[in-house]
């Protein structure tokens, strides 16, 4: 399959080289804003507003990263964001359980309830934003981490993916465990979950990305600065665009770099997640 192997195989054709070159240019243009962000985050303020602009900083400094943590409370935002990611991981267990319930049990109302799950995938977030706020407010959960996390905890799409995957687990395995006297929860935790490794990996990565990046909902629910997430903190820096781009770029870097690391390490799963969704 590899067409780029030198010597033994034929050289790639001219048209492939041209396409490759075009795609490379496109890829560089696509990635350029990130490159700009990284370099700008270590530019002293004078350099970041200099005209004409330079990509490479001549006197790099990390003072803006220090400022984010020392003066702007980004340490707290980071902890809040990680807490939300952790809570969302619990949601993952709920969705896995639901996927298992739909995949391996027959019960009255199953098809109707599963249709309901699918239907929630079609309902746009912006439509539910105001009513969800009213519901959270009615439950007295505004300005709590729970209130921020609850509506993000489950998604119909993830339940669907879990169900699709778990339907392929052989029922005999589960029956054998029942014969041996294992309880239903024990079967779920010690047989079904371990056998669902690939789909769990996908979901953990997607959940991390979604929780880490979540913006609109935390913005709506968190009025107290103590509960701001990174994304809310970063968006507030927008007012400083004219005054201090370096500080903004440092904050953006702080948000983007962990995702890039997660992406590079787990790239296979991220892509698999979108492939698993059965879009062929």
- Scan residues 144-163 and list those touching other proteins (CB under 8 A): 150-151, 153-154, 156, 159
Q: Which is closer to other proteins, CB of 23 or CB of 173?
A: 23
CB within 8 A of 101, min separation 6: which ones? none
Q: Which is closer to other proteins, CB of 12 or CB of 75?
A: 12
Residues touching other proteins, count (CB under 8 A): 102
Q: How far apart are CA 72 and CA 226, in angstroms?
A: 11
Q: Is 176 in the site for other proteins (CB under 8 A)?
A: no
Angstrom CA distances, 100 to 96, 117, 118, 188, 279, stand at: 6, 14, 15, 8, 22
Q: Which of 7, 124, 170, 181 binds other proteins (CB under 8 A)?
A: 124
Q: Which of 212, 227, 228, 269 binds other proteins (CB under 8 A)?
A: 212
Q: Tokens 């969302």 map to which residue?
A: 88
Residues 31-60 that bind other proteins (CB under 8 A): 31, 33-34, 36-37, 40, 48-53
Stretch near other proteins under the rule CB under 8 A, chosen from 1-9, 58-66, 69-77, 193-201: 1-9
Q: Angle CA(42)–CA(48)–CA(54) in degrees, nearest 5?
A: 90
50-71: string of b/e by CB count within 10 Å (b at 16+)? eeeeeeebeeebeebbebbeee
Smallest distance from the beta carbon of 26 to other proteins, in angstroms? 7
Q: How far apart are CA 206 and CA 141, in angstroms?
A: 26
Provide the angle, in degrees to the nearest 10, between the axes of the packed helices 245-276 and 63-70: 80
Residue 136 near residue 75, CB atoms below 8 Å: no
Q: Which of 86, 134, 173, 265 binds other proteins (CB under 8 A)?
A: 134
Q: Which of 67, 132, 143, 164 binds other proteins (CB under 8 A)?
A: 132
Q: Is 75 in the site for other proteins (CB under 8 A)?
A: no
What are the tokens at 201? 């990996």
Q: Is 228 in the site for other proteins (CB under 8 A)?
A: no
Q: Which of 66, 79, 86, 94 binds other proteins (CB under 8 A)?
A: 94
Smallest distance from the beta carbon of 170 to other proteins, in angstroms? 18
Residues 237-276 that bind other proteins (CB under 8 A): 237-238, 241-242, 245, 248-249, 251-253, 255-256, 259-260, 263-264, 267, 270-271, 274-275
Smallest distance from the beta carbon of 244 to other proteins, in angstroms? 11
Smallest distance from the beta carbon of 159 to other proteins, in angstroms? 6
Q: Which of 79, 86, 116, 146 binds other proteins (CB under 8 A)?
A: 116
73: left (phi over 0), alpha (psi -120 to 50) or beta: left
Residue 114 near residue 163, CB atoms below 8 Å: yes
Helix (H), strand (E) at residue 251: helix 245-276
Q: Is 279 in the site for other proteins (CB under 8 A)?
A: yes
Q: How far is CA 35 from the centre of its chain?
A: 21
Q: Is 65 in the site for other proteins (CB under 8 A)?
A: no
């Amino acid at each position: 399959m590899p067409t780029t192997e030198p010597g033994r195989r034929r050289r790639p054709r001219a048209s492939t080289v041209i396409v490759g070159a075009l795609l490379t240019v496109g890829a560089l243009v696509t990635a350029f804003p990130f490159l700009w962000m990284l370099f700008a985050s270590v530019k002293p303020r004078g350099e970041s507003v200099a005209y004409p602009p330079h990509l490479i900083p001549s006197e790099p400094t990390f003072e803006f990263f220090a400022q984010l943590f020392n003066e702007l409370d980004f340490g707290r935002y980071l902890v809040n964001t990680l807490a939300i990611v952790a809570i969302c991981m619990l949601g993952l267990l709920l969705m896995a359980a639901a996927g298992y319930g739909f995949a391996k049990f027959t019960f009255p109302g199953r098809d109707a309830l599963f249709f309901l799950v699918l239907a929630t995938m079609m309902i746009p977030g912006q439509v539910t934003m105001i009513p969800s706020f009213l519901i959270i407010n009615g439950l007295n959960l505004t300005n709590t981490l729970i209130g921020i996390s609850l509506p993000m905890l489950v998604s119909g799409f993830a339940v669907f993916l879990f169900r699709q995957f778990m339907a392929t687990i052989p029922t005999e395995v589960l029956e054998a465990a029942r014969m041996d006297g294992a309880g239903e929860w024990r079967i779920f935790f010690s047989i079904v979950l371990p056998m669902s490794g690939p789909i769990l990996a996908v979901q953990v990565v997607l959940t991390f990305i979604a929780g880490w990046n979540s913006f609109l909902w935390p913005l709506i629910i968190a009025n107290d600065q103590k509960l701001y997430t990174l994304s809310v903190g970063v968006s507030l820096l927008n007012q400083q665009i004219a005054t201090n781009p370096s500080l903004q770029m440092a904050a953006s870097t702080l948000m983007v770099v962990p995702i890039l690391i997660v992406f590079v390490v787990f790239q296979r799963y991220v892509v698999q997640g979108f492939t698993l969704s059965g879009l062929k």
